[in-house]
Amino acid sequence: MVTSGSPRIANGEIIVMPLVHAMPPRKPTTPLPQFQTGMLMMFELAEIIASMSIYPYINQLIREIDITGGDDASVGYYVGLIDSLFYLAQALTVLSWSRLSDRIGRKPVLLIGLTAACISMICFGLSTTFWSLVISRCMWGVLNGNTGVMKTVMGELTDSTNMAQGFALIPIIWSIGSFVGPLMGGMLARPQDHWPGLFTNPFWRKYPYFLPCVASASLLLLAFFMLSRFLEETLSTKRRPRLTLSIPDVSHDVDSNDQEAFVRQPTANASLWSLLTPAIVIPIANYAMLSFLDMSFRVLVPLFLSTPTHLGGMGLTPSSIGLWLAFYGIVDGLFQALFLAKIVDWVGPKRLFCVSVSCFTPLMVVFPTMSWLVCTRGVVDHAIMYALLGQLILTVTWDMAFATALMFVTASAPTKNVLGVVNGLSQSSRSIACALGPALTTSLFAFSKKYNVLSGNLLPDKIRDRDE
């Protein structure tokens, strides 16, 4: 390999001419701001744990408030309705929160969202009717736009050289939260049954799911105090000015102020329609479609695991569901932490996105396969466990699509000052998709079980009659 130019003799001296076509040196990778990134990920982890903690017991809670009239097949309708109304409420306000963060700063909006989430979890644990559950969840959705703002903060903490590393942390934290949240929710639900000597007060029998909710609220409260104390504002117009010993140049000062005013102007005056270009709309549409499919899968897993075996489900208890979802989360998190950034550098974000998305169809095919195995074998045996492990492998591959999609959304912003609006648009699209996904999927599941469509996911009538 040639590392220098070719020599030439001139006036008796040897002159080395530089290579015209030499490759430019690769731009060094900027180190991530570890402390600030850690604070951001700690906040994200607290919200994910709180959000995911309800899934191991939400189906049992719906049965116990007796809104279904004893019809187990109808549980899916109400679970899907709670999730969908939450995301619908979020979709109505998340863009407003993102635009507000462009004016008052990222940190105040994050703290407001944490406060709303904490109050929402307390109200959820004290709810004894279906509509009180809906109101408490919608409170979180309306007053919390942190998901979009958090991605904006990550985009402002990173640059083109370390963006992949920064956004690779988000699915890792999601996986850790998917491990801790269901584990905590499943273990702490109905404490009077697990630890009757400690929880003897009648309060715990009236509110059997308050303990996991108050534990989640405590984590959110801890995140609130940590962020209020240690997180630095990333919005350039709201940062504290740093003292310097150098004498400022007057002309340079005027130019800087003019540039800063020019940068702020599009944020305040830019129309949303002006941002709806193909370069921005296509990444947002991909992210919304991913969210629709992913939420459809996420709500279907605990519903399928809790459905009685005579209806084609697994018939697991809330604690067992929590353990299995926690196992999913820890395996997924370890894989994303160890390999995601390396795979992105190896195959590229676009190719990885295509490979990950192609895993969704076989991922969903596993559900009727397991339902058929349960109904033909009568028990949960090794074949069903192998099917669950296969679904886990597909889930890990599928989850890698989100890091690449977030990279595409962030890179689509034409300037940093509209990054909050772009992330707000993406989060609004995601919320609408997530509102449609749970309602459609759980309703189809409940409909197939109640009216025996396709024999309830390929459930033979003779086996149904035998089990009943």
Long-range contacts of 375-383 (CB under 8 A, 24+ apart): 375/309, 375/312, 375/458, 375/459, 375/460, 375/463, 375/464, 375/467, 376/463, 378/309, 378/467, 380/314
Is residue 394 very low, low, confident or very high in pLDDT (cuts 50, 70, 90)? very high
pTM of the model: 0.69
| DSSP 8-class letter at 201 | S
User: What is the average pLDDT across 160-181?
Assistant: 80
338-347, 377-386, 448-457: least confidently modelled range: 448-457
Residue 73 pLDDT > 60, yes or no? yes
Task: Specify the pLDDT at position 46.
Answer: 95
pLDDT band at 25 (very low <50, low <70, confident <90, very high): low
Dist CA 279 CA 418 (whole Å): 14
Own/partner contacts of 37-40, CB < 8 Å, gap of 24 or more, are 37/154, 37/157, 37/166, 37/169, 39/226, 39/227, 39/230, 39/231, 40/150, 40/153, 40/154, 40/157, 40/231
Could you give the angle at the alpha carbon of 458 between the alpha carbons of 454 and 464, nearest 5°? 100
The whole-chain average pLDDT of the chain stands at 78
Report residue 251's pLDDT band, with 50, 70 and 90 as the boundaries.
very low
pLDDT score at 381: 67
pLDDT at 444: 73
Please tell me the predicted confidence (pLDDT) of residue 39.
93
CA 134, 138, 139, 140 torsion: positive or negative?
A: positive
Provide the pLDDT confidence category of residue 210 given band limits of 50, 70 and 90. Answer: very high
pLDDT the model gives residue 462: 35
How far apart are alpha carbons 343 and 41 in whole angstroms? 21
Q: Fold for domain 32-230+275-467?
A: Growth Hormone; Chain: A; (1.20.1250)
Domain ranges for the chain: 32-230+275-467
Banded pLDDT at 132 (limits 50, 70, 90):
very high
Q: Which position has the higher pLDDT, 170 or 210? A: 210
Quick one: pLDDT band at residue 2, thresholds 50, 70, 90?
A: very low
pLDDT of residue 85: 86
> What is the tens place of the pLDDT at every residue in 406-421?
888 888 877 767 777 8
The pLDDT assigned to 259 comes to: 35
